[in-house]
Amino acid sequence: MQIHYLEVVTPDVDAVCAAYEAADGVKFGEPDARLGYARTALLAGGGLVGVRTPLRANEASVVRPYWLVADIEAAVAAVVQAGGFVAVEPTPIPGHGTFAIYLQGGNDHGLWQL
């Protein structure tokens, strides 16, 4: 399993990015509109960590890993069969791939296909 995108939703993007930069020496870029205006930095394995503010008033702070999958439709079907609830159906993001979000075990999880 490989994390392709690690999403951090927080009301204080600048403080979280500054802490990551100080602790690990990573550099965050400018907000990316295609990723909900997340500021992103490269992960050692080739993926990204993105830090953004909530997109709606009722969106809670969360840290959500998106696992890289070869076939997102098959992965979503497997999640449902295992008892997961699909919160966001597979959705393409131009230039980034396709993502889906599911809920299971009291946590948010994501899937990502390039």
Chain centroid to Cα 81, Å, comes to 22
Task: Return the CATH number of the domain spanning residue range 1-62.
Answer: 3.30.720.120
What is d(CA 110, CA 3) in angstroms, rounded to the nearest whole number? Answer: 9
Cβ atoms of 3 and 47 closer than 8 Å: yes
pLDDT in tens, 94-113: 999 999 999 999 999 999 99
Over residues 84-100, mean pLDDT: 97
What is d(CA 73, CA 89) in angstroms, rounded to the nearest whole number? Answer: 9
Report strand pairing: 3-9 vs 48-52. Answer: parallel
Q: Does 6 have pLDDT greater than 90?
A: yes
In whole angstroms, how far apart are CA 65 and each of 71, 111? Answer: 17, 8
Over residues 1-8, mean pLDDT: 95
pLDDT in tens, 34-56: 999 999 999 988 899 999 999 99
The full set of domain ranges for the chain reads 1-62, 69-105
Q: The pTM is what?
A: 0.94
